[in-house]
Amino acid sequence: MTEIRVIWSGTVQAANLKADDDGNDSAHPTLIELSPLDLSPLLRGSIQKGLLFRIPPSHDKSSVITNLRQSLSSTLDFFPPLAGRFAVVQHHDGGDSSSSFFIDCNNAGALFVEAVAPDTTVADILEPTYVPHVVSSFFPLNGLKNYEGTTNPLLGVQVTELNDGIFLGFTMNHAAVDGVSFWHFINSWSEISRGSNQISKPPLLQRWFPPDITRPIRIPFTIPPREQQNLAALSEQRLFHFPKEKIAEIKVKANTEANTDTVSSLQALLSHIWRAVIRNQSVDPEKEMSCLLGIGTRGKITRPPLPDNYFGNAVQLAGRVTMKAGEVVDEGGLGKVAWNLKKMVSSNTEEKLRSRVDSFLKEPRLQTLSEVLDDALLISSSPRFDVYGNDFGWGKPVGVRSGAGNKRFGKVTLFAGEEEGSIDIEACLSLPLLEAMGNDSEFMAFVAH
């Protein structure tokens, strides 16, 4: 494999956004205030996910790329925030300095990059045990923090032409969208790319705010020094594939050990993964370890409600389970961990989620990725997202990978597997730990080889 070469880079604007005489689009707002849930990730990095495709010989690659650019422009008509930029209003009244953040739907455009990697094949990406380092080069806007959306696009797309396929790398600003909205946009774009003039799920662009609060929201904001990434910890990533039937076995085992039948398949699988991560490190059994999950608020917050098509951030990093290392890995630990995960998820009621928002409004604090992760295993993304249904007109993806955004030691990304009901996990851990997990018979007994 060789490094990639960029052959074109430019912006793609929404095709038909037209404002009225007052400067307001009749269907969409032109200025969108960021909500408390949008503001929280300002200091962190973008969402980066990508899809790998084989291109049938009947499809000319240059025509495929032209169609992608044109259909992106048409799709942005439905998602004008992603063609905009952040706007910041500074407040200096009363001796206090604070800022308010908005999305200016000014149609400045999304970044579109065309690149080639002629010596790289689809198999070069799919077959290695560890994710090839070149994959991080398949994504645009690398290294940006979300607050930098004032001068950088909120959406970047890179189409990398491989020897026998293409890789579509998507980068979206995490203060503008969460994972649900990320895939909502990609799913809609694939519909338009296949020839539709409409999308099956129009987005709700108005942001959610608690009632009776002072707006715009003001937060203290200063640009922090750049975080130093732990490059050694980022040196390798590995995908583990869990077939549907093996996940079912883990679920039965977890429920049996917990003497219940209410532990979900995902809770059981996450417990299995966390136990393997701890078991294969030299950790003091008395040391407290944490597993951190994002808790979605769509369907949970009802005043006012957050529907499925809500386009923005509707997730809180509120799901933390802390246990002693020995408790996690001891006999019967699978059931104990799974039960604690279940209790944590159930405890995140609407009242608790709203309380966290209220606390943020009273004392806004923006966390960096290192502060969020700390010593925790961070579970990211969801197997519920429609990844393999994204047919842009030449067939479904054959693989999915994530970029370097928000990557640190301890991050586990979940994807739906290619076969129905299966799940892939992409683990960002040290090479010795990944090697140890690969040799761990208790862990690998449920992994497809």
Domains and CATH numbers, the chain: 5-193 (3.30.559.10), 236-444 (3.30.559.10)
- Give CA 80 to chain center in angstroms: 20
Distance (Å, whole) CA 202 – CA 212: 28
Catalytic residue annotation? 174, 391
Buried b or exposed e, range 124-141, using 16+ CB within 10 angstroms: bbeeeeebbebbbbbbbb
Distance (Å, whole) CA 181 – CA 184: 5
- Looking at the predicted structure, is the pLDDT value of residue 3 above 50? yes
Comparing CA positions, the residue from 251, 179, 247 lying closest to residue 424 is 247
Q: Is the peptide bond before 307 cis (omega within 30 degrees of 0)?
A: no
Buried b or exposed e, range 343-365, using 16+ CB within 10 angstroms: ebbeebeeeebbebbeebbeebe
**What is the pTM assigned to this prediction?**
0.94
Exposed, middle or buried: residue 303 (CB in 10 Å: 0-12, 13-18, 19+)?
exposed
Distance (Å, whole) CA 98 – CA 424: 42
3-state secondary structure of 426: strand
Supply the pLDDT for residue 19: 41
3-state secondary structure of 156: strand
Cα torsion at 125, 129, 130, 134 (round to 10°)? Answer: -20
Supply the pLDDT for residue 95: 66
Supply the pLDDT for residue 97: 84
In the chain, what is the greatest distance between 2 CA atoms, to the nearest angstrom?
70
Write the DSSP symbol of residue 27.
S
Query: Which band of pLDDT confidence, cut at 50, 70 and 90, is reported for residue 27?
Result: low
Would strands 85-91 and 47-54 be described as parallel, antiparallel, or unpaired? unpaired
**pLDDT tens digits for range 109-128:** 999 999 999 999 999 999 99
Would strands 165-172 and 315-324 be described as parallel, antiparallel, or unpaired? unpaired
In total, the chain counts a number of residues equal to 449
Single-letter code of the amino acid located at 295: I
Supply the pLDDT for residue 235: 65
Q: Is the peptide bond before 216 cis (omega within 30 degrees of 0)?
A: yes
Distance (Å, whole) CA 188 – CA 307: 17
Question: Once rounded to an integer, what is the mean pLDDT over residues 269-294?
Answer: 96
Query: Which band of pLDDT confidence, cut at 50, 70 and 90, is reported for residue 24?
Result: very low
Question: Once rounded to an integer, what is the mean pLDDT over residues 303-332?
Answer: 92
Q: How many Cβ atoms are within 10 Å of 301's Cβ, its own excluded?
A: 19
